[in-house]
Amino acid sequence: MRGSDFAELTAFVAVAETQSFARAASKLGLSRSALSHAIRALEERVGTRLLNRTTRSVSLTDAGRTLFARLPQAFAEIKDAVDGLSVYREQPAGTVRLNLSRPAAEILVTSKLPAFAVAYPDIHVELTVEDQISDIVGSGYDAGVRPGRFLHQDMIAVRLTPDIRIAIAGSPAYFERHPIPTVPKDLAKHACIDYRWTESGAVYRWPFSNAGEQLEVEVTGPLTTNDIGLTVEAALAGMGLACTLEGNIAQELAQGRLVRVLEDWCPPSPGFYLYYPSGRLLSAAFRAFIDFMRTGEDVTSEAEGSGG
C-alpha cells in the first residue's frame, strides 16, 4: 500500500466518523479542499462512490458502509503494531486513547492522570467523553472506563475506584418549602433537576434499590441540562433536587449547603473500571498506563457485572 493510499483511507474514516467534511478536516489538521481531494482520489481508485454529499449533510453509500465496517479494526491493529515498537525505547511513549463517561473522566483527571503525566511524560492520553458505551475495538480506542455493572464478560477489567453511590440532595431553602421525600414515589411531588444524555437525547432515570426492590424513576422539574455540574449548582440555588455521585457533593453536604434524602434507597454499586478486550496486543504505552492505574488494586480476568 502506498502512503497516499493510507492517507486517503484515513481521510475517509474521519469523514465517516464525524459525518462532516468540516469536522473531519479539523480533526486531521487539513484544509477542506485537501480532504475533498483525498476522498475523490480514493473514490476514483476504488471505482465507486463512497459518500453521498449535499450542501448540508454527508452520508455513506452502501459501498462506503462496507468499507467503513472493516477499516477501524484494521487501523487499530496497525496502531497496535506500531505502538508495540515503543518497547525498544528506554521510556514508554505513544498515545493511549480512552472512551469514557463524563463522571469517569472527571474522576480520572482529578485523581490519577496528573501523577501519570509526571511519571510518563512521553505518553499522551486522549480522552473521548461519551454517554453511551461504544465499541472500543471498532472505534480504535485502547480501552474504555465505565461502572462495573455495565461491562461485558469478555473484557479484562482493572478497578479504578471503590464502589460508588448516588446521592439525592436539595438545599435547606428548598426543604423549607417542600416536605422530605421518604420513598422514591414521593419525587412525583418534587421539583427535580433533569439530566439529558447528549448522544441519545434520553433523560436520565434516577435509579433506586432497597430490600431487593429495584426501580428507575422518571422525574420532572424546572430545569433539564446535559452538564452534571449544573445540576448541583441548580440544587444549591434551591431550584430542586439533584441526583449525582455522592463524591461530587461531599463538601456541600458536610457544610450543610445541601441536604441528602432517600439515602436508604441509594446503596453502593460497582465502581469505575478500565476495560479492554482480552487477547489484544498491548503497546508499551498502554501497558504502562494499565500498570499505573491498577497500583494497589486487584485485576480481574472478567468484568464484574454485564449488560449495557
What is the tens place of the pLDDT at every residue in 87-119?
555 678 889 999 998 888 888 888 889 999 999
CA distances from 260 to 67, 191, 243, 271 (A): 52, 15, 10, 21
| pLDDT of 184 over the 90 cut | yes
Answer CATH for 166-265 from 3.30.2350.10, 3.30.1540.10, 3.40.190.290, 3.30.1490.20: 3.40.190.290
Give the residue extent of every domain in the chain: 3-69, 73-161+271-300, 166-265
All three cell numbers of 303:
468484568
Amino acid identity for residue 132 in this structure = Q
Task: Give the helix ranges, DSSP H, for 120-248.
Answer: 172-177, 228-236
- Triad 153, 72, 108: Cα angle to 5°: 55
pLDDT of amino acid 282: 81
| pLDDT of 207 over the 80 cut | yes
pLDDT classification of 308: cutoffs 50, 70, 90: very low
CATH 1.10.10.10, domain 3-69, yes or no: yes
If residue 239 lies in a helix (H) or strand (E), which one and from where to where?
A: none
| pLDDT of 255 over the 80 cut | yes
pLDDT of amino acid 302: 33
> What integer is the mean pLDDT of 198-217?
88
| pLDDT of 292 over the 70 cut | yes
**Quick one: what percent of the chain has pLDDT higher than 90?**
50
CA distances from 27 to 14, 32, 69 (A): 8, 11, 20
Calpha distance 305→308 (Å, rounded): 10
Which range of 85-94, 131-140, 269-278 scores highest in mean pLDDT? It is: 269-278
| pLDDT of 76 over the 70 cut | yes
pLDDT of amino acid 307: 29
All three cell numbers of 61:
453509500
The residue written with cell numbers 441548580 in the block is: 234
Do the domains at 3-69 and 73-161+271-300 have one common CATH topology?
A: no
> What integer is the mean pLDDT of 36-65?
90
**Quick one: what percent of the chain has pLDDT higher than 70?**
91
Q: Tell which phi-psi region holds residue 240, choosing left (phi > 0), alpha (psi between -120 and 50) or beta.
A: left
Contact call for residues 48 and 63 (beta carbons, < 8 A): yes
| pLDDT of 303 over the 50 cut | no
Q: What is the 3-state secondary structure (H, E, C) of 72-128?
A: HHHHHHHHHHHHHHHHHCCCCCEEEEEEECHHHHHHHHHCCHHHHHHHCCCEEEEEE
Which of 24-33, 80-89, 141-150, 158-167 bottoms out in mean pLDDT, i.e. has the lowest?
80-89
pLDDT of amino acid 151: 74
- CATH topology classification for 73-161+271-300: D-Maltodextrin-Binding Protein; domain 2 (3.40.190)
> What integer is the mean pLDDT of 271-291?
86
pLDDT of amino acid 200: 72
pLDDT classification of 299: cutoffs 50, 70, 90: very low
pLDDT classification of 201: cutoffs 50, 70, 90: confident
Strands (E), 139-284: 143-147, 155-159, 166-170, 193-195, 206-210, 213-217, 223-225, 242-245, 259-261, 272-277
Report the chain's mean pLDDT, rounded to a whole number: 86
Task: Give the helix ranges, DSSP H, for the chain.
Answer: 3-18, 21-28, 32-46, 62-68, 71-83, 102-110, 113-119, 172-177, 228-236, 250-254, 284-293
pLDDT classification of 305: cutoffs 50, 70, 90: very low
Per-residue pLDDT reduced to its tens digit, 151-175: 767 788 899 888 989 999 999 999 9
Contact call for residues 68 and 16 (beta carbons, < 8 A): yes
What is the DSSP-derived secondary structure letter of residue 198? T
Q: How many CA atoms lie within 13 A of 54 on its CB side?
A: 4
All three cell numbers of 181:
421525600
pLDDT of amino acid 67: 92
